[in-house]
Amino acid sequence: MSGAAADSARRLLTGRLLPPLTVKLLHGRLLRLHLLADHTSLSLLLRALSSAGLHLHALRLHSLLPNLTFLPLALKAASRLPDHTLSLSAGAQLHARSLKHPTHSTNPHVLTSLLSLYAKCGLLSDAQKAFDEIPYPSTVSWTALITAYMDAGRVHEAVRVARKAFASGMRPDSFTAVRVLTACARVTDLVTGEAVWRAAQQEGISANVFVATAALDLYVKCGEMEKARAVFDRMQNKDAVAWGAMVGGYASNGHPREALELFFAMQTQGGMTPECYTVVGALSACARLGALDLGRRAIAMLPHWDEEVLHNPVLGTALIDMYAKCGSTAEAWAVFQQMRKKDIIVWNAMILGLGMTGHEKIAFALVGQMEKSGCMTPNDNTFIGLLCSCTHTGLVKDGRRYLHNMTQLYHISPRIEHYGCMVDLLSRAGLLEEAHQLIKDMPMQPNAVIWGALLGGCKIHRDTDLAEHVLKQLILLEPWNSGNYVMLSNIYSNSGRWEDAAKLRLKMKERRVEKVPAASWVELDGKVHEFRVGDKSHPLSDKIYEKLDELGMEMKILGYKPTTEVVMFDIEDEEKEHTLVHHSEKIAIAFSLLTTEPSETIRVTKNLRVCSDCHTAIKLISRITNREIIVRDNNRFHYFRDGHCSCNDYW
């Protein structure tokens, strides 16, 4: 073959786009013209055949002239065969061929290619052996082994390998950094992940958008939102994935206000339309705050959102959950009815939403409809929704029946969450001994939620002796949880045991246990306003407290007497009344009365349980103002209308 012809062939081989047919023809032509003695042409042709998906042709070419220099290329072609059995057979032959030549059997390129081939065929032990034979593993070798473990779902092993790699002084490239950071995020290994991130910064690859986003995701998964925000703020080219990771991170780590601020800034400052899963994060934040109007704005930012919701169960579930937790059951129901793709998660979201908003009969009927239609079978989460519905309405017999049916009819083993619902139901109904016995009979060790449910029943029914026993269990499980101490202190206070309450407060102080401050949120004109006990930081504070005084006078005319026994401190009754007036939900309601139209429904979200005094007061306020007031506390919804509450004073 002339030099001109060879040059022409090489140009064809190095072309960026090479159709498979052209590669085949060229392959035959080169074989006939004996160009294969030219190493450069052979290398180019092997690569061209492989990139064109002609892996068998590449292997056949290598077998005709088995030049061991190109063994890694042949192994790569073998690993890409669609049939794993064929891949393994070809790989074993190539491996055997390499063993005949000692210089090649320890070649890191050959061994790394073998590693990848064995990993693809699911032989991780052989992949690990191939790696162990490499005398001085390169970044490519380490990354291949890490990737092998990750692709097999063995993320912990991938992180273990990464630790060894960095301990040996490996300097990561951007691909390796992303893979390792992703693995660390999945197992929440902050220590290893931060070591990788520091190495990435030292190598000058931290500005890479993929590396930075992987580091951001690591911090989000580990709950380190300040560090995640620092990475985010330093990113020069933020893409939709980075914005979405931050929004979702804030929402999932208990920072709903920050999540929404960033979500809306994504469009105004970042100039980007949010993706579906970013909207899901925003809807989760709205659900947490009870921000109905912001939730409507968030979903409207998706182009053709109505069509997407109909076909996307994840988005539909988030929207149903948001509407339900904001107290708009009708909108949640409308979304559910219109959805064309409903998986069991969608059904369960609607069942739980109906139960938590006091529509337990519809929730029960929906489960019946699901069973009769045959389209879906109830699962363990379905029974969580049913038992929660029973809890909110005191349906003890129904609760017992559902717990029995899930085991006997559906053969579903109850999880600790099911027992928690049942203990809560029995405790609220005053069946404390039965609840306590159920805890003893559980097949697993009770957690803090189980004991907390029983403690709540002790408070309602003033069983101080059992409460003390329960608290001892809770302190063992959660010694720094202020709620346990506060609840027992309230029991002591209600019984006039001020000395015991004082000792408990002293113990809290010694252990540096701080009470979680009560907070209530109200949404107005696209902004969420937060109020705390005795809060006077709001610009309308003077008018708010004037309104509270005015309401207080009108309530007293109707016979209202403050329930001072809910105040845990041994202080004068007059001071107790003053403390009760300034509870966060009352401040939030007074603010809403001042800033909304007389016909508007008032929606308040609270982070703790509504106390009995506030519950009584809000019933009267709804009657005085002729307003519908919806309060969602950390346990359930309360719909106040004309002096009555949907919970029938059972919560």
pLDDT at 651: 66
Lowest mean pLDDT among 39-48, 277-286, 432-441, 477-486: 39-48
Output helix, strand, coil percentages for the chain, rounded to the nearest 5: 70, 5, 25
pLDDT at 583: 87
Length of the chain in terms of residues written: 651
The burial of 371, by beta-carbon neighbours within 10 Å (0-12 exposed, 13-18 middle, 19 or more buried), is given as middle
Q: Could you tell me the two tokens for 454?
A: 């029983």
User: For residues 611 and 565, is the Cβ–Cβ distance under 8 A?
Assistant: no
Lowest mean pLDDT among 68-72, 271-275, 512-516, 570-574: 570-574
pLDDT at 13: 43
Q: Could you tell me the two tokens for 395?
A: 């349906």
Bigger pLDDT: 649 vs 639: 639
Bigger pLDDT: 336 vs 53: 336
pLDDT of 131 over the 90 cut: no
Crossing angle, helix 209-221 and helix 225-234, to 10 degrees? 170
pLDDT in tens, 160-205: 999 988 888 888 889 889 999 999 999 999 999 999 999 999 989 9
The burial of 195, by beta-carbon neighbours within 10 Å (0-12 exposed, 13-18 middle, 19 or more buried), is given as middle
pLDDT of 573 over the 70 cut: no
pLDDT of 485 over the 70 cut: yes
Q: Could you tell me the two tokens for 468?
A: 């003390």
pLDDT at 21: 43
Q: Could you tell me the two tokens for 134?
A: 């490499």
pLDDT of 16 over the 50 cut: no
pLDDT of 643 over the 50 cut: yes
Among 23-32, 35-44, 157-166, 607-616, name the most confident range.
157-166
Please compute the mean of the pLDDT values over residues 603-631 and round it to a whole number: 90
pLDDT in tens, 223-247: 999 999 999 999 988 889 999 999 9
In whole angstroms, give the CA distance from residue 232 to residue 259: 13
User: For residues 603 and 630, is the Cβ–Cβ distance under 8 A?
Assistant: yes
Q: Could you tell me the two tokens for 286?
A: 């709205």
Task: List the alpha helices (DSSP H) in 68-173.
Answer: 71-79, 84-99, 102-105, 108-120, 124-132, 139-151, 155-167
Lowest mean pLDDT among 82-96, 384-398, 631-645: 82-96
Q: Could you tell me the two tokens for 347?
A: 């059904």
Provide Rg for the chain, Cα atoms: 33
- 451 pLDDT tier (thresholds 50, 70, 90): very high
| Residue at 593: amino acid letter | L
In whole angstroms, give the CA distance from residue 162 to residue 159: 5
The model carries a pTM of: 0.73
pLDDT at 36: 46
In angstroms, the Cα distances linking 314 to 185, 244, 260, 276, 317 are: 22, 15, 19, 9, 5
In whole angstroms, give the CA distance from residue 111 to residue 95: 9
Please compute the mean of the pLDDT values over residues 567-579 and round it to a whole number: 41
Please compute the mean of the pLDDT values over residues 438-459 and round it to a whole number: 90
Q: Could you tell me the two tokens for 560?
A: 């209202």
Task: Give the whole-number percent of the chain exceeding pLDDT 90.
Answer: 39
- 100 pLDDT tier (thresholds 50, 70, 90): low
pLDDT of 317 over the 90 cut: yes
Element (H, E) at 364: helix 360-373
Which one-letter DSSP state was computed for residue 517? P
Place of tokens 């506060």: 486
User: For residues 556 and 504, is the Cβ–Cβ distance under 8 A?
Assistant: no
Task: Give the whole-number percent of the chain exceeding pLDDT 70.
Answer: 80
DSSP string, 386-446: HHHHHHHHT-HHHHHHHHHHHHHTS-PPPPHHHHHHHHHHHHHTT-HHHHHHHHHH-SS--
Which one-letter DSSP state was computed for residue 515? P
pLDDT of 324 over the 70 cut: yes
Of 367, 428, 353, 445, nearest to 401 by C-alpha is 367
149 phi, psi to nearest 5 deg: -70, -40
Cβ neighbours of residue 369 closer than 8 Å, sequence gap 6 or more = none
